[in-house]
Amino acid sequence: MKHAAPQTTQAIAREMKFLAEPPSAVDLDGTFEGYASLFGVADLGKDVVMPGAFTESLRKRDAGAIRLLWQHDPATPIGRWLSVEEDRRGLRVRGKLNLAVERARDIHALMREGAVDGLSIGFRVERARAERPTGLRRLEKLDLWEISVVTFPMLPGARVESVKQGPQGLSSTIRAAAVRLFS
């Protein structure tokens, strides 16, 4: 009597790979989103924004009252913020460049090519505490008055994550969600 060899099953590890979105697929409406600030992450100036730091400011000033500027220059507004809100990761923003403005058209072209993707906040500190051994400053309460698109953000992780697209917008939204879930 012959015995059959026992069958073994091996778990197959799933691997996900995404291709970068081609710049030509980006719609021309000027809408984009990303994180202007990340909680608990030190910026290049040793400031750390704490969760809830924007809560009171966002209660008294909605997205439309927060300026969308280029490189923090008050003489160079380039559009408007559609939404600004805190989530568990940081300050999530969605804005729209005003493509009737020449500078905004230039920035949009640079965003589509991936040449400009930094975001940076302009604020007044209302409450902070210094940590002597580390040299960090914990920002606990901020009065947010502007968010800029910048070339070099003080917080390297504060970036435009996507530029809104036409019909392909859903695929990039799914791709971004998958990257956040599986990274």
What pLDDT tens digit does each residue of the chain (183 aa) get? 555 555 555 555 544 433 344 333 234 799 999 999 999 999 999 999 999 999 999 999 999 999 999 999 999 999 999 999 999 999 999 999 999 999 999 999 999 888 999 999 999 999 999 998 999 999 999 999 999 999 999 999 999 987 654 444 444 555 555 555 665
pLDDT reported for residue 162: 75
What is the C-alpha separation between 8 and 132, in angstroms, rounded? 58
Beta strands in 27-72 (DSSP E): 31-38, 47-49, 67-70
pLDDT of residue 76: 97
Q: What is the pLDDT of residue 22?
A: 36
CA gap 101, 78 in Å, rounded: 7
pLDDT number for residue 52: 98
Residues in the chain: 183
Residues 6+ apart with CB under 8 A from 99: 28, 29, 30, 105, 108
Domains of the chain: 25-182 (3.20.16.10)
